[in-house]
């Protein structure tokens, strides 16, 4: 594989780009692997990459029912931040941000991590209290996050409407400057290339139909469209489809899969310098390097694997955006799409071992999996390699739903009174 | 008449000139023109610059699929929109338009320097570079890339227009009012069925508008069209033009956007700019026709190179010759007819260049009779001209070998690479596509929705085939509704069905690795880019698309998808279906945000709920805060007072004399029935059996996970009747939860639940003088400790109004809550206000309410709890009826982590330096530890308190209830604050002030 | 927007009138206090989440207010049937069209 540098670029430009080599081969499955990872998204490919680079485990296959990076990795709004309330979450996501910052160089693949800042808007007193709680907790956890007044919000994000007569007036905001966005496809491709370079097999268009277990209950391998493939360890990283895959190993999970929609506008010249999230009106927006406004919507109310989603939700999302940014009312929506997110009862991920020996799971990221990609993949690889939790992913067990030791970021932001 | 306008041609109104501007220069067109047709009539082809290389571009199409001719359109202040397709925007007197993505001018654009570096900026370029040095990405490269991208500029003013939305229910919806759609509508319009025919264009007719030569049943096409549309209207068919079906959603719900004003010279009063139609159709016929494919060859993007079918449309529909000396380059019969039509209109067609070895004799005859040179077995390998094409380089193909090229001078190149069925809406249904090898395209296969595809959308070419298929699908649709559709068979003369072959890149004698042969015009994706992507391991069309951005422009691949797929499949050596097809996403064409928002803007974004007393509060200077959907009076500042001063005054006045508070937003639920008490026992943690009629009790509600969900005071109004209050934000949630348990777990209980939140106005009186103030208004009840003790309730008249009177307190003072029928709220308030003047009655808002309750240690669910807090955690263990066999949450409370030691407890905090803590501030035991610190809790509530004489706070602290008197630390950015853990009750722990 | 048949109102109405209420036929145990931690976790959190026919609950919130059950295919989002709360779980083989059984 060609290493990317100024020299290789120029040389290839001069030779008509005929000499670039493939970034990853189209592998056919071997009979057996040390580790099989089900799901070739950023999380799965990343885990394979770190198994190879950090743990010297290269007899690894990443298997996907479709094309690599074709699930939520390639369908999300690419927001990256780590200003979470609880220590457990802050540590995990901040670990991810640490890795994001050097990822392009690490992978020799420009994932375009753009530190443009994420501004979360407060629209009522409860928001203010909640965000300040986050800010103080983040500060003591060493996580960047600070309070901006209404005017400072406007200065940071000029398109913002700060009229106090608005239905949801802006009362300030929490800014994480270190946060931002990245190019989602490049993350999958960069990890795929890095893993393949080190001997990992990436097997696409090969649905895993079942996880097979030995008589002693431990994992034996996976049944696939291309036949049985043996493995000492199987790690499932299949986002919206985790329940379906894990069910075949008789592991039932506290997960529900919902359609999540997102949309982009037509591209325009730079107008929107950062990422803005408003939980109160349900609006998330940034502008891509291409110029499109990238807007996140919510999940539909019912579970679904249809990747379709309804019109009313999109109408509400666009209305929320123009409530906060009225100048965008005459902009046009270019396309909207849907993904499937798996959601846990406490809205935090499950990342680690399962009751089945040799079977590992990384799921339940809800709407926030992309930002965690390097951190989750890195610690997941550790757990797979050592068969024990990494200090950072240790709290994200399946066990917590039994004990009640939840990591309930959603409840912490919940509104009552 | 301008140089390129053809007299007597087209459907524009020659008698009505229209003047508009483009890049500041005034142009004249005719009514009925689009910006593109009017500019072309003036000989202007250069209309824009491309995305990446800033190459000069002109219109390539004549409809909404146009990728190049994107312009800014303006109608005075606030009414500007970028990226409008010049081929769609109708002109009107005074319309201002401008070109985009160029600096300093459209004719000379410095951004075109990128074009010179073409070989460097190949597919995937960005992923391979800009990584060194590391911090340059953020500071140098990314801002540069962002500034270069983006096409037009964003609007910067608020939109003065308004938008509407409506529902429409019909039996049959037909999308596309071309021959197929019209025939389908005709067949379906029987027995009073509600039929809707919709088209995105300004007038119905579709391809018939471009094919006036066709004779349908002996009638000229346009005569047939006029009479047929009239007949449809007579039959009750609703024909909607300028209306785009943007998306196909579940169960035959189609979103459609109708443009109402963008074509009008003056804006009618009170007319929305656009209207979103949410259509629910029993059956849908998709007759969206087909889109012509460009040919892929070096220089195929030069202004003047356009689709042959579009040139035909510009001529026949708008009366515009796109060139006087056009040349036709094709692999499909249809372009020959464009040559004939242009020739007949006076153009000197330089040649028809066809890649095929043979074509039907009739075409050759047609060319010969018009004196048009024909070059079969030829290809094209380049164009020349800077801002407008002036020659096409044509080569002979001999036995598969491309010979040297010869330049043929021209002023337009009309190309056709064949036609692609338009399957966008079909694709929205998650319908499956089937590859058709003969037609080298995808055709519709099966869909989960109740819809049929008709005409060119399923690969049928020619007007006759379209009409007959439309009629058949119309009949099939109504047959599914149990009706018999109208029978009709159509015969068409001068029809132009045609066939062709499919190409990837056109064969060339030059180095294809250096060719600028564009596949996606707008995004500047060339065939070479696609092949490079494949070489680099991109094996699915999804990867190729994302790696090269092919098909991701504002036409969503209408021009580029199939050409891209054919080239990628060839590079992979696979069949197209094995490479896949990217999914089309809604909306069909870019759709303004305003249309999606509809009425939901400004004050109508979301409902604002106001109490009956809200207007009084507003009149009396209240500052409001949003709480859920409600707006509540936050505080009542007097002249010169800030929030802190106002709240302090309100607090002092209430504790000293009497305060009045609007508590109407509290949720209220009436729980009624023989089993009401049993129901309450099961739902709330508290025991209810022994609560006497006429008494109130604080009720605590958990989820079955054991965490606090809600709370509120509950009155037993009668043996079988409870008046439950909930938090303001929790009302709907609590009722839903109660209904859930009642209906699905305990259907045996004889209980009814009714939301009464909006039936009552609730006014709270608090303070030492509260009883004195209220007494004169309640006959027959002495407000004494003996006759109406704390936590009593009764039904009686208050000031002559029927009321439920409660003696409760959320302040620690003597307190009453008067519930009267909602509309009487303001009258009661004003009555009490007037009578209270002698006591210096003070209206207070939510902030004072918060202070007073915190001084007394009363919690607010959602502020002092956060969904992870148990009753024991916040000192409410006394409210849990542990002897009850069960209640919601009882089992949850017994889970290991909920009974573990060291959980966070709600306690009071008093700072040592008497400073006020910040809500949300984090607490540590050891202030000297390094980051990250071990945090043991946080401040949930914090207020200045005159009653205590220093600021007070409530906080969740690990093991707090066992650490009374101990010191904890609150590290702030500038200093660390020490605070002592105290009980939660700061004022009157013995409840002496509650006594009358 | 889905169209949903309310078995109480006997009308097919738009989704906007309804709220989704999760997996159906999860019965709250008679005596929760007798449940093990595992059993209680199962009751509270563990969900089938199938790709295909799903037994689920809806509430006709802006209508009759009743909770009812439904079988919906989570791939096509099509309802196979809806039925009243308390009615037995319908047999899938009677609901699926020929060829999908």
Q: Per residue in B200-227, pLDDT tens?
A: 999 999 999 999 999 999 999 999 999 9
Residue B168 has a pLDDT of: 98
Q: Can you give the residue range of the structural domain that contains C23?
A: 3-95
Q: In this predicted structure, what is the pLDDT of residue B117?
A: 78
Strand ranges (E), B510-655: 518-520, 525-526, 591-592, 623-627, 630-635
Residue C75, min C-alpha distance to chain A (Å): 5
pLDDT given at position B628? 86
Domain with CATH 3.50.50.60 in chain B: 163-290+421-493, 294-417
**CATH number belonging to the domain at A118-177+257-343, selected among 3.40.50.150, 3.30.9.10, 3.40.190.10, 3.30.300.30:** 3.30.9.10
Q: Would the CB atoms of A402 and C72 count as touching at under 8 Å? A: no
Q: Cβ atoms within 10 A of the Cβ of B900, count? A: 11
Mutation pick from A13, A140, A403 vs chain B, by most beta carbons of B within 10 Å, is A140
Q: Where are the beta strands (DSSP E) in B576-678?
A: 591-592, 623-627, 630-635, 659-662, 667-672
A377-413 pLDDT per residue, tens: 999 999 999 999 999 999 999 999 999 999 988 766 5
Answer CATH for B898-994 from 3.30.70.960, 2.40.30.110, 1.20.58.100, 1.10.10.10: 2.40.30.110
B883 inside 8 A of chain C by CB = no
Q: Which of the other chains make 3 or more beta carbon contacts under 8 angstroms with chain B?
A: A, C
Query: What fold does the segment set B1-158 form as a domain?
Result: Ubiquitin-like (UB roll) (3.10.20)
Q: Check B935 against A326: CB less than 8 A apart.
A: no
**What is the C-alpha separation between A243 and B791, in angstroms, rounded?**
51
Q: Are A329 and B730 inside 8 Å of each other by CB?
A: no
Q: Distance from B887 to chain C by nearest Cα, in Å?
A: 9
Q: Do C74 and A308 touch (CB under 8 A)?
A: no
> What is the CATH T-level fold of the domain B163-290+421-493, as seen in this structure?
FAD/NAD(P)-binding domain (3.50.50)
CB contact under 8 A, A401 and C45: yes
CB-based contacts of B369, cutoff 8 Å, min separation 6: none
The number of distinct structural domains making up chain C is 1
In this predicted structure, what is the pLDDT of residue A14? 81
Chain A: residue nearest C46 by CA? Answer: A254
Q: In whole numbers, what is the pLDDT of chain B averaged over residues?
A: 95
- A343 — phi, psi (to 5°)? -120, 135
CA distance B72 to B116: 27
Low-confidence ranges of chain A (pLDDT < 70): 411-417
Q: Using a CB cutoff of 8 Å and minimum separation of 24, what contacts does B771-774 make?
A: B771/B814, B771/B816, B771/B996, B772/B839, B773/B658, B773/B832, B773/B835, B773/B836, B773/B839, B773/B841, B774/B798, B774/B816, B774/B818, B774/B832
Verify whether the Cβ–Cβ distance C57 to B744 is below 8 Å: yes
- Cβ contact (<8 Å) for C28 and B704? yes
Which pLDDT band, with edges at 50, 70 and 90, does B323 fall under? very high
**CA A17/CA A382 separation, integer angstroms:** 38
Q: What is the CATH number of domain A26-78+184-254+346-406?
A: 3.50.50.60
**Sign for the pseudo-dihedral over CA of B867, B869, B874, B878:** positive
CATH 2.40.30.110 range(s) for chain B read: 898-994
Q: How far apart (Å, rounded) are the C-alpha atoms in residues A130 and A134?
A: 6
CATH class of the structural domain B503-585: mainly alpha
Q: Under an 8 A CB cutoff, do B894 and C31 touch?
A: no
User: In this structure, is residue C100 part of a structural domain?
Assistant: no
What is d(CA A267, CA A253) in angstroms, rounded to the nearest whole number?
Answer: 41
pLDDT tens digit sequence for B280-312:
999 999 999 999 999 999 999 999 999 999 999
Q: Categorize the per-residue pLDDT at B355 as very low, low, confident or very high, splitting at 50, 70 and 90.
A: very high
d(CA A399, CA A354): 9
- Which other chains touch chain C, taking contact as 3+ CB pairs less than 8 Å apart? A, B
* pLDDT band per the 50, 70, 90 thresholds, residue B266: very high
Contact assignment for B249 to C76 by CB distance below 8 Å: no
Chain A residue numbers with beta carbons less than 8 Å from the beta carbon of C54 are 303
Q: Do C51 and A310 touch (CB under 8 A)?
A: no
Residue A18 has a pLDDT of 82
Nearest to A345 among C38, C40, C45 (CB): C45
* Inside any domain, residue C101: no
Nearest by CB to C1, from A253, A311, A403: name it: A311
| A302, A305, A399, best to mutate vs chain C, most C CBs in 10 Å | A302
Which pLDDT belongs to residue A38?
98
Q: Which fold has domain B294-417?
A: FAD/NAD(P)-binding domain (3.50.50)
Residue B593 near chain A (CB below 8 Å):
yes
Listing DSSP states for A279-302 in one string gives TTTTEEEEE-TTSPEEEEEEE-SS
> Looking at residue A55, what is its pLDDT?
98
Say yes or no for a CB contact (<8 Å) between B153 and A124: no
At residue A417, the pLDDT reads: 39
The CATH number for C14's domain is 3.30.2270.10
Question: Alpha helices of B140-290 — where are they, by DSSP H?
Answer: 142-148, 179-188, 221-234
Q: Answer whether C74 touches A (CB < 8 Å).
A: yes
Rounded Cα distance, B742 and C85, in Å:
11
φ, ψ for residue B456 (rounded to 5)? -60, -25
Domain with CATH 3.10.20.440 in chain B: 1-158
Q: How far is CA A366 from the centre of its chain?
A: 9
| B25 sits in which H/E element | strand B25-31
Cβ–Cβ gap B594/A270 under 8 Å: no
Q: What is the pLDDT of residue B131?
A: 80
pLDDT at B680 over 70: yes
How many whole angstroms separate alpha carbon A280 and alpha carbon B729? Answer: 13
Exposed, middle or buried by CB within 10 Å (0-12, 13-18, 19+), for A309?
buried
Cβ <8 Å between B891 and C40: yes
**For the stretch B687-702, what's the b/e string if a residue is b when 16 or more beta carbons lie within 10 angstroms of its beta carbon?**
bbeebeeeebbbbbbb
Candidate from B593, B627, B863 with C-beta closest to A322: B593
For residue A398, the model assigns a pLDDT of: 95
Q: How many CB atoms lie within 10 A of CB B327?
A: 30
Q: What pLDDT is recorded for position B205? A: 98
- Which chain B residues are closer than 8 Å to C65 by Cβ? 739
Give the start-end residues of each E strand in B221-349: 238-240, 243-249, 253-259, 274-286, 290-292, 305-307, 326-330
Q: Hey, CA dihedral for B174, B176, B177, B181, is it positive or negative?
A: negative
Please, which residues 17-36 of chain C have a Cβ atom closer than 8 Å to chain A?
19-20, 22-23
Q: Which pLDDT tens digit goes with each residue over B21-33?
A: 999 999 999 999 9
Tell me whether A301 touches chain C (CB under 8 Å): yes
Residue C33 to residue B249, Cβ atoms within 8 A: no
CA dist., res. B29 & res. B26, Å (int): 10
- The verdict on A399 touching C (C-beta cutoff 8 Å) is no
Three-class secondary structure of residue A15 per DSSP: coil
In a domain, C88, yes or no: yes
Q: Are strands A256-265 and A293-299 parallel, antiparallel or unpaired?
A: antiparallel
- Is the Cβ pair C57, B448 closer than 8 Å? no
Of A303, A310, A342, the CB nearest to C74: A303
Do the Cβ atoms of A246 and A90 come closer than 8 Å?
no
Report CB contact under 8 Å: A304, C45.
no
Q: From B282, which residue of chain C is nearest by alpha-carbon distance?
A: C3
Q: Which of B131, B147, B606 is facing A270, going by the closest CB pair?
A: B147
The Cα A175–Cα A139 span in angstroms is 12
Closest Cα in chain B to A19:
B535
Q: How far is CA B734 from CA B225, B726, B866, in A?
A: 60, 7, 16
| Of the candidates B423, B878, B492, B451, the residue with the CA atom closest to the CA atom of residue B685 | B878
Give the CB-side neighbour count of residue B396, counting CA atoms within 13 A: 5
Give A110-166 pLDDT, tens digit per residue. Answer: 999 999 999 999 999 999 999 999 999 999 999 999 999 999 999 999 999 999 888
> Which residues of chain B neighbour A271 with C-beta distances below 8 Å?
153-154, 156
Where, residue-wise, is CATH 3.30.9.10 in chain A? 118-177+257-343
Which of B251, B600, B703, B741 is the best substitution to test chain C (most C C-beta atoms within 10 A)?
B251
Query: What is the rounded distance in angstroms from the CA atom of residue B122 to the CA atom of residue B526?
Result: 9
Which residue ranges does chain A devote to CATH 3.50.50.60?
26-78+184-254+346-406
Which of B587, B554, B557, B477 is CA-nearest to residue B256? B587
Orientation angle between helical segments A369-386 and A87-107, nearest 10 degrees: 90
Q: Using alpha carbons, list the distances in angstroms from residue B153 to A270, A387, B54, B274.
A: 8, 53, 15, 22
Q: Is residue C43 part of a domain?
A: yes
CB atoms within 10 A of CB C45: 19
Q: Is the pLDDT of residue B780 over 90?
A: no
Which residues from chain B sit within 8 angstroms of residue C32, using beta carbons? 704, 886, 890-891
Judged by CB atoms closer than 8 Å, whether chains meet at C1 and B890 is answered as: no
Beta carbons of C44 and B705 less than 8 Å apart: yes
């Amino acid at each position: 594989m060609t290493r990317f540098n100024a020299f290789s670029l120029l040389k290839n430009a001069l030779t008509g780009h005929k000499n670039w080599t493939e970034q990853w081969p189209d592998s056919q499955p071997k009979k057996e692997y040390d580790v099989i990872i089900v799901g070739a998204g950023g999380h799965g490919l990343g885990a394979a990459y770190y198994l190879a680079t950090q743990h010297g485990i290269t007899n690894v296959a990443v298997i996907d029912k479709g094309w690599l990076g074709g699930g939520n990795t390639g369908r999300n709004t690419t927001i990256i931040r780590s200003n979470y309330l609880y220590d457990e979450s802050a540590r995990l996501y901040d670990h991810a941000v640490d890795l994001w910052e050097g990822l392009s160089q690490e992978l020799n693949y420009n994932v375009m991590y753009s530190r443009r800042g994420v501004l979360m808007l407060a629209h009522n007193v409860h928001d203010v209290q909640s965000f300040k709680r986050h800010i103080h907790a983040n500060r003591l956890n060493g996580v960047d996050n600070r309070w901006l007044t209404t005017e400072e919000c406007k200065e940071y994000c000029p398109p913002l409407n700060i009229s106090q007569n608005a239905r949801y007036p802006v009362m300030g905001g929490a800014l994480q400057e270190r946060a931002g966005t990245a190019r989602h496809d490049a993350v999958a491709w960069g990890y795929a290339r890095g893993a393949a370079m080190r001997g990992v097999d990436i097997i696409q268009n090969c649905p895993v139909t079942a996880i097979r277990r030995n008589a002693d209950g431990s994992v034996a391998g996976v049944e696939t469209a291309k036949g049985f493939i043996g493995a000492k360890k199987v790690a499932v990283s299949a986002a919206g489809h985790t329940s379906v895959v894990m069910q075949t190993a008789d592991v039932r999970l506290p997960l529900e899969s919902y359609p999540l929609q997102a949309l982009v506008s037509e591209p325009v010249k730079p107008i929107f310098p950062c990422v803005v999230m408003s939980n109160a009106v349900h609006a998330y927006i940034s502008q891509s390097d291409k110029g499109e406004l990238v807007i996140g919507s919510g999940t539909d109310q019912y579970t679904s694997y249809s990747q379709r989603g309804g019109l009313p939700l999109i109408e509400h999302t666009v209305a929320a955006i123009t409530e906060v940014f009225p100048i965008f009312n005459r902009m046009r929506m270019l396309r909207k799409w849907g993904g499937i997110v798996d959601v846990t009862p406490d809205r935090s991920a499950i990342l680690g071992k399962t009751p089945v020996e040799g079977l590992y799971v990384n799921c339940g990221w809800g709407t926030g999996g992309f930002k965690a990609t390097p951190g989750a993949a890195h610690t997941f690889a550790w757990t797979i390699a050592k068969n024990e939790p990494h200090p950072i992913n240790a709290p994200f067990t399946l066990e917590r739903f039994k004990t009640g030791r939840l990591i309930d970021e959603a409840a912490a932001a919940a509104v009552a009174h | 008449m301008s140089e390129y306008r053809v007299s007597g041609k087209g459907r524009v109104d020659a008698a009505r000139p229209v003047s508009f501007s483009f890049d500041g220069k005034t142009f004249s067109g005719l009514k009925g023109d689009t910006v593109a047709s009017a500019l072309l009539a003036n000989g202007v082809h250069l209309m824009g610059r491309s995305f990446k290389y800033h190459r000069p571009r002109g219109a390539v199409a004549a409809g909404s699929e146009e990728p190049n001719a994107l312009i800014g359109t303006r109608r005075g202040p606030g009414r500007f929109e970028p990226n409008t397709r010049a081929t769609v925007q109708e002109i009107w007197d005074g319309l201002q338009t401008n070109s985009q993505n160029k600096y300093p001018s459209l004719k000379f654009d410095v951004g075109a320097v990128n074009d010179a570096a073409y070989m460097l900026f190949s597919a995937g370029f960005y992923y391979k570079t800009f990584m060194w040095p590391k911090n340059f990405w953020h500071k140098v490269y990314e801002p540069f890339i962002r500034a270069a991208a983006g096409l037009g500029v964003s609007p910067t003013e608020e939109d003065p227009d308004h938008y509407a939305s409506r529902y429409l229910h019909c039996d049959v919806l037909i999308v596309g009012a071309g021959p197929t759609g019209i025939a389908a509508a005709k067949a379906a319009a029987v027995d009073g069925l509600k039929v809707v025919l919709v088209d995105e264009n300004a007038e119905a007719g579709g391809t018939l508008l471009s094919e006036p030569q066709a004779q349908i049943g002996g009638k000229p096409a346009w005569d047939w069209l006029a009479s047929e549309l009239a007949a449809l209207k007579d039959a009750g068919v609703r024909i909607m033009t300028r209306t785009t079906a943007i998306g196909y959603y579940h169960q035959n719900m189609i979103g459609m956007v109708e443009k109402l004003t963008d074509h009008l010279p003056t804006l009618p009063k009170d007319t929305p700019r656009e209207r979103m139609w949410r259509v629910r159709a029993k059956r849908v016929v998709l007759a969206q026709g087909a889109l012509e494919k460009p040919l892929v060859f070096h220089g195929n993007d030069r202004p003047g190179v356009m689709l042959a079918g579009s040139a035909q449309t510009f001529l026949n529909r708008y009366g515009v010759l796109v060139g006087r000396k056009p040349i036709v380059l094709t692999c499909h019969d249809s372009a020959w007819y464009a040559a004939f039509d242009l020739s007949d209109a006076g153009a000197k067609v330089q040649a028809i260049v066809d890649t095929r070895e043979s074509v039907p004799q009739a075409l050759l005859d047609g060319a010969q009779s018009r004196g048009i040179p024909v070059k079969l077995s030829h290809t094209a390998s380049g164009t020349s001209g800077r801002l407008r094409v002036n020659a096409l380089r044509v080569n002979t193909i001999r036995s598969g070998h491309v010979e040297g090229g010869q330049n043929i001078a021209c002023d337009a190149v009309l190309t056709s690479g064949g036609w692609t069925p338009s399957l966008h809406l079909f694709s929205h249904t998650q319908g499956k596509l089937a590859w058709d090898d003969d037609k080298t395209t995808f055709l519709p296969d099966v869909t989960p929705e109740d819809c049929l595809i008709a005409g060119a959308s399923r690969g049928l070419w020619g007007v006759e085939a379209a009409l007959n298929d439309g009629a058949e699908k119309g009949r099939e649709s109504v047959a599914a509704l149990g009706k018999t559709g109208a029978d009709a068979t159509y015969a068409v003369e001068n029809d132009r069905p045609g066939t062709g072959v499919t190409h990837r890149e056109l064969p060339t004698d030059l180095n294809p690795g250096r060719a600028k042969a564009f596949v996606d015009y707008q995004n500047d994706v060339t065939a070479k880019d696609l092949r490079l992507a494949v070489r680099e391991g991109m094996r699915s069309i999804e990867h190729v698309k994302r790696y090269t951005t092919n098909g991701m422009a504002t036409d969503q691949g209408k021009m580029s998808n199939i050409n891209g797929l054919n080239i990628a499949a060839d590079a992979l050596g696979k069949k197209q279906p094995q490479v896949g097809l990217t999914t089309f996403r809604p909306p069909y064409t870019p759709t303004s945000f305003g249309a999606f928002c509809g009425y939901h803007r400004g004050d109508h974004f979301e409902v604002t709920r106001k109490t009956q007393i809200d207007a009084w509060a507003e009149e009396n200077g209240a500052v409001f805060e949003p709480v859920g959907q409600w707006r509540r009076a936050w505080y009542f500042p007097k002249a010169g007072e800030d929030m802190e001063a106002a709240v302090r005054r309100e607090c002092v006045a209430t504790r000293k004399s009497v305060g009045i508070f609007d508590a109407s937003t509290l949720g209220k639920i009436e729980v009624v029935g023989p089993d009401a008490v049993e129901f309450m026992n099961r739902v709330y943690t508290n025991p209810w059996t022994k609560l006497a009629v006429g008494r109130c009790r604080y009720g605590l509600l958990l989820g079955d996970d054991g965490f606090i969900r809600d709370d509120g005071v509950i009155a037993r109004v009668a043996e079988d009747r409870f008046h439950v209050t909930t938090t303001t934000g929790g009302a709907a949630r609590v009722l839903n939860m109660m209904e859930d348990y009642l209906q699905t777990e305990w259907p045996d209980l004889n209980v009814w639940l009714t939301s009464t939140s909006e039936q009552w106005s609730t006014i709270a009186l608090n303070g030492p003088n509260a009883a004195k103030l209220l007494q004169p208004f309640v006959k027959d009840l002495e407000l004494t400790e003996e006759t109406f003790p704390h936590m009593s309730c009764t039904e009686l008249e208050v000031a002559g109004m029927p009321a439920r009177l409660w003696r409760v307190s959320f302040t620690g003072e003597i307190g009453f809550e008067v519930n009267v029928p909602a509309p009487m709220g303001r009258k009661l308030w004003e009555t009490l206000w007037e009578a209270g003047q002698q006591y210096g009655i003070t209206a207070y808002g939510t902030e004072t309410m918060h202070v007073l309750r915190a001084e007394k240690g009363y919690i607010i669910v959602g502020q002092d709890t956060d969904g992870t807090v148990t009753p024991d955690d916040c000192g409410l263990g006394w409210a849990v009826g542990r002897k009850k066999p069960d209640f919601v949450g009882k089992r949850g409370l017994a889970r290991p982590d909920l009974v573990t030691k060291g959980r966070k407890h709600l306690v009071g905090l008093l700072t040592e330096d008497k400073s006020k803590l910040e809500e949300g501030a984090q607490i540590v035991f050891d202030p000297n530890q390094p980051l990250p610190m071990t945090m043991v809790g946080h401040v949930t509530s914090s207020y200045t308190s005159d009653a205590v004489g220093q600021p007070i706070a409530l906080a969740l602290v690990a093991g707090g209830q066992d650490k009374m008197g101990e010191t904890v630390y609150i590290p702030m950015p500038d200093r660390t604050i020490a605070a002592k853990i105290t009980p939660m009750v700061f004022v009157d722990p013995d409840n002496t002030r509650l006594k009358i | 927007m889905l169209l949903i048949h309310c078995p109480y109102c006997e009308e097919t109405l738009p989704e906007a009138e309804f709220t989704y209420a999760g997996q159906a036929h999860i019965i709250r145990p008679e005596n929760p206090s007798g449940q093990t931690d595992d059993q209680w976790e199962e009751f509270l959190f563990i969900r089938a989440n199938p790709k295909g026919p799903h037994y689920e609950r809806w509430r006709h919130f802006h209508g009759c207010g009743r909770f009812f059950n439904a079988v919906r295919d989570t791939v096509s989002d099509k309802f196979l049937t809806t039925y009243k709360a308390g009615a037995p779980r319908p047999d899938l083989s009677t609901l699926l069209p020929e060829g999908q059984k």
